[in-house]
Amino acid sequence: MAKKKLEIDFAKAFAELEDIASWFEQGEPDLDEGMKRYERASELAKSLKEKLDEAENRIKEIKNS
């Protein structure tokens, strides 16, 4: 499970978070939907932060074959 979190597509997750923020900015009146999106946003923000806190850059040399 922890491994899966580190493998999120950072760009996609960040874009989804931005989408949720702009959905809220447009002021849609649907409270149920708002709650769902809020929960999703919290999840996304958490995994994005985890990725930036925990993951390392990985260097691999590609040899001439």
Residues in contact with other proteins by CB under 8 A are 6, 9-11, 14, 17-18, 20-21, 24-25, 27, 29, 31-32, 34-35, 37-39, 41-42, 45, 48-49, 51-62, 64
Question: Quick one: CA torsion of 37, 45, 9, 4, rounded to 10 degrees?
Answer: -100
The nearest distance, CB 37 to other proteins, in angstroms, is 8
The nearest distance, CB 4 to other proteins, in angstroms, is 14
For residues 1 and 58, which CB has a smaller minimum distance to other proteins in the complex?
Answer: 58
- End-to-end CA distance of the chain, in Å? 35
Axis-axis angle for helices 31-54, 10-25 (nearest 10) = 150
